[in-house]
Structure 1
Amino acid sequence: MRPATLLRLALAGTRTDTARVALTALSAALAVLAGLAALTVLAIPTPPATDGNGNRWSEQYANQLLVEPGLRGGTAFALLLLTVPVLALAGQCARLGAPARDRRLAALRLAGATPGQVTRVAVVETGVASLLGTLTGLALYLNGHELLHRPDGRGRLPLPTDVYPSTVSMAAVVLGLPVVAALATALMLRRVTTTPFGLVRRVRIRAPWPWPGLLIILGLAAFAAFRPVLLWYERRHSDPPIWLLPTLLVGGGLVAMIGVVTGTGWISHTAGRLLHRYARRPAALLAASRLMADPWAGSRTFAALLAALIFGAGAAGFRADFRATMELGRRTGGGMAAPDDFYLGTMDLVDLAVAVAMTIAAGGLLVALAEGIIARRRSYAALVATGVPRGTLGRSLVWQSLAPAVPAIVVAVTVGFLLVRGALRPPSGGGYSKEVCSAGEQLCTDQATRAQYVRTEWVPKVTVVPDVPVEQLAWLGVGALAAVLATVGVGLLFLRSSTAVEELRTT
């Protein structure tokens, strides 16, 4: 099959296919913008020290997050956090209109195309849509650099519009994302065979095992080992390998996140079994059957939302630890280089990133729910035709969404908080003596009079245990649950049009 023919077949289709390509491109553009913004922050050069304090601040910026080199890593991390729900949204958008696309691929098989050629058509569709989105995101990034380059009266910039990432890193983001999307599509289609009569998925029907719990325990153990490993090297007056501590944090967080997301499949199946055993109403029984028939739907649907909750709960735990550190400073007389409000303001940016991520994840939930209703419209129409009220179907969708979502949300919030609590020990200080001068600065600095006003005080050993941020964790859980309920409510609008009797003729 010629490349031009492959490209033309990949971009052919109905308005639904066009909407799928457009939404996938939009998601890719948003992901590229977040990635390029993070790379731009990391590309800010650090000047040499120009004062006696050894400060290496970039004074050309108005935002302190960009001025101090030590804060740029967290800022870039918050920006990269936004790519997680965006990429999940892209995965959900790729499933939009799947039945119509399956029929189109089956028609290609009927016309003589091989299964490999049909798979390449699907892979090229996703890759081209992602490439269009990444190129659009790159154009917006470059134009935004020009439009947002507005120094203030003191010549300082609100954004790092005076620097660009390296060409290699920009090319890796812009071209790497479509390649990853295409490879992911090929990986997901490895068990799918396209025949002239539709798609056949080769799967073994078995209940999910609770093995993701081991991944969660492994991730928590990696975070808990962070402090002991650091102390082990400090007692030996040596530095750990540069890769060791970041691997514990990044690897442990990733493993725990995979455990929470994949564990939703086991939660869905278990919830379905419990509903099937104890429920007595038709709506709950319909939801139980659906949960047991496709328990992995929850892992696909709630992946981005659960990832955002883990980050949000971790941020809440870090904020609680910082407040404990501030309380320790007040008790022992210590302090920080910058005002407390500044550090809390930087944490607010992380909370804002989590809120944006949850909003984007809610959009992915809506796409997944609408796609599921449309894909099963013949089944729903048949149930309505046999006398099942639409209200019963609507309540079954609510059960189907909430039964796995509620325990998964609780697990995600708990794991996110325990990750940070395991890595950070309660702040402690004191246990030393210090000199205190009770006179003014002139008398205290004069060696002739200083001895008359100086006394030695003992600072007792103090350990401040951080509080559990119950209120903030509860708001995270309530916000996630509200997002699920809102998307279910909007998705029910598709139910009436998808349960018309005419849908029984849909092929």
Structure 2
Amino acid sequence: MRPGALLRLALAGTRTDLARVALTALSAALATLAGLAALTVLAIRKPPGDAYTESEQYANALLREPGLRGGTAFALLLLAIPVLALAGQCARLGAPARDRRLAALRLAGATPGQVTGVAMVETGLATLLGTLAGLALYLAGHRLLDRPDERGQLPLPTDVYPSTVGAAVLVLGLPVVAALITALMLRRVATTPFGVVRKVRTRGPWPWPGLLIILGLAAFAVLRPMSIWYTRQYGNPPTWLPPVLLVGGGLVAMVGVVTGTGWISHTAGRLLHRYARRPAALLAARRLMADPWAGSRTFAALLAALIFGAGAAGFRAYFLANVEVGRRSSDIVSTQNDFYLGTMDLVDLAVAVALTIAAGGLLVALAEGIIARRRQYAALVAAGVPRGTLGRSILWQSLAPAVPAIAIALTTGLLLARGLLGSPSSGIISRQICDADEAICADPATAAPYLRVESTPEITVAPGVPVEQLAWLAGGALVAVLAIVGVGLLFLRSSTAVEELRTT
């Protein structure tokens, strides 16, 4: 197939296809903005001086202090993960109509490889459009936000640009990765001239994602003992090792939580099928058992945001425990703890943005699922099943895997933070005290007989469980699921019309 024909076939489609391309491009633009922001933070040049010399041209301490820039960039990259999950869910919008269009290409003589190529080009072009739009927005914002305050300090690092190589890899690499993921997702799909057949497994998912969660937790927990061991050996760990453990462990744990939702869905379906007595629960049970991976696709962005939020709650609990250590040791609580607690407010704002993005992805996934199964729903309504029963079955189908998956995501995020930070400690504080009057103690020669050393024992405060924050995250996630299900049910009436039985 010629490149020109491949491009025309990839751009063909209905209004639903245009909506899918637009949403995919929007998600790619948001991910590009987050990535470029992280690269910009990393591009800040260190001023002359020692390792603690700050960049005084910035108003925010997150940008001034060299030791905080890596964590800031890492947080920005984590914020891009829910956006990428949203892009994956948007790519499934209107999948049945696209599948019929691909089947028509097979009927016209295209090979399965050519059909996969059309899907890859469609996704890649949509993502490229989004990354270019994100780059344009970044450059425009870079100029508009370059406004120093009255002290001449910049609120954002608008005096530097990311490296050309890094920006090019981000803008051009995301479309390539999106196209390859599309091919990977189609590996179990056989496109025939008569439609699309998915090669599903007859057995349910195995609980192997639990091992991924354990590996991610172990990667975070080994960082502190590793640093202590290197310190005792009068050395430093390799520069690449801590970032690999942090990024790799976080991603592995997140993949374990998201993919583990498939096993949770199948198990919840089996339990409902065994113990439920109402038609709505039984319909949901059969759907959960037939397609257990739907939960992983639907809740991917939401679970990623919850892991990030629970980890932030764990960091806040650590800083609060650090303040308590300073109070008990009669030490002056440094303003550094106040700064960290203030920074956590910004992190909580980022978590709220991530949850909002995840809610949008949840709406897209739920609406796509209802529209994709409209023929089955129309057949049930024609057979006499009330629409209220179908609505309750969709609610069961959403909540049954969501509740345990949310609990696991929050627990994993909190354990990641706890394993990385541990419990703050004051150490042993020794003070020299002179048991004489001020005149004698002022002279070292006369004060020597009256001097004694007083040691304060080490004080360790275990961070508390941030129950309130975790409850807000869990409640917000459940409210979002319920609200999105309510909005998604608006598609149910139009999708259960008798005319939908003629849909092929």
Confirm or deny a common fold (TM above 0.5): yes
User: In 2, distance between residues paired with 1:251 and 1:448?
Assistant: 56
Name 2:13's counterpart in structure 1: 13
Q: Secondary structure at the match of 2:335?
A: coil
Name 2:26's counterpart in structure 1: 26
User: In 1, distance between residues paired with 2:393 and 2:353?
Assistant: 29
User: In 1, distance between residues paired with 2:201 and 2:188?
Assistant: 11
Name 2:202's counterpart in structure 1: 205
8 Å CA contact retained: 2:189, 2:198? yes
Name 2:48's counterpart in structure 1: 48
Give the residue type in structure 1 aligned to 2:44.
I
8 Å CA contact retained: 1:443, 1:450? no
Against the structure 1 CA distance between its residues 443 and 273, is the aligned structure 2 distance closer, same or farther, given a 3 Å change threshold?
A: farther
How big is the shift at 1:443?
A: 9.2
Give the residue type in structure 1 aligned to 2:147.
R
Q: Secondary structure at the match of 1:462?
A: coil
Q: Does residue 191 of structure 1 match 2:188? A: yes
User: In 2, distance between residues paired with 1:252 and 1:269?
Assistant: 26
User: Which of 158, 162, 168 matches 2:159?
Assistant: 162
Q: Secondary structure at the match of 2:22?
A: helix
Give the residue type in structure 2 aligned to 1:10.
A
Name 2:140's counterpart in structure 1: 143
Against the structure 1 CA distance between its residues 62 and 438, is the aligned structure 2 distance closer, same or farther, given a 3 Å change threshold?
A: farther
8 Å CA contact retained: 2:128, 2:175? yes
How big is the shift at 1:273?
A: 0.4
> Percent identity of the aligned residues?
78
CA RMSD of aligned residues (A): 2.3
User: Which of 235, 238, 252 matches 1:255?
Assistant: 252
Bigger CA drift: 393-402 or 417-426? 417-426
User: In 1, distance between residues paired with 2:55 and 2:360?
Assistant: 38
Q: Extract unaligned runs of 5+ from structure 1.
A: none
Name 2:112's counterpart in structure 1: 115
User: In 1, distance between residues paired with 2:125 and 2:252?
Assistant: 31
Against the structure 1 CA distance between its residues 430 and 235, is the aligned structure 2 distance closer, same or farther, given a 3 Å change threshold?
A: closer
How big is the shift at 1:485?
A: 1.0
Name 1:223's counterpart in structure 2: 220
Q: Secondary structure at the match of 1:128?
A: helix
Against the structure 1 CA distance between its residues 298 and 229, is the aligned structure 2 distance closer, same or farther, given a 3 Å change threshold?
A: same
8 Å CA contact retained: 1:320, 1:469? yes
Name 1:429's counterpart in structure 2: 426
Against the structure 1 CA distance between its residues 364 and 444, is the aligned structure 2 distance closer, same or farther, given a 3 Å change threshold?
A: farther
Give the residue type in structure 2 aligned to 1:15.
R
Give the residue type in structure 2 aligned to 1:331.
R
Against the structure 1 CA distance between its residues 390 and 245, is the aligned structure 2 distance closer, same or farther, given a 3 Å change threshold?
A: same
User: In 1, distance between residues paired with 2:91 and 2:129?
Assistant: 14
Name 2:393's counterpart in structure 1: 396
User: Which of 344, 350, 353 matches 2:347?
Assistant: 350
8 Å CA contact retained: 2:24, 2:127? yes
Q: 1:384-422 CA distances to partner (integer Å, 9 max, x unpaired)?
A: 111111110000000000000000111111111112222
Count of matched residue pairs: 502
How big is the shift at 1:451?
A: 5.3
User: Which of 174, 177, 182 matches 1:177?
Assistant: 174
Q: Secondary structure at the match of 2:196?
A: strand
How big is the shift at 1:224?
A: 2.3
Which residues of 2 match residues 81-480 of structure 1 at below 5 A?
A: 81-335=78-332, 338-435=335-432, 456-480=453-477
TM-score, structure 2 as length reference: 0.95
Q: 1:156-180 CA distances to partner (integer Å, 9 max, x unpaired)?
A: 1111111101100000000000000
8 Å CA contact retained: 2:322, 2:337? no
Q: 1:121-141 CA distances to partner (integer Å, 9 max, x unpaired)?
A: 110000000001111111111
User: In 2, distance between residues paired with 1:177 and 1:382?
Assistant: 41
User: In 2, distance between residues paired with 1:55 and 1:367?
Assistant: 47
Give the residue type in structure 2 aligned to 1:255.
V
Q: Does residue 505 of structure 1 match 2:502? A: yes
Bigger CA drift: 194-203 or 386-395? 194-203
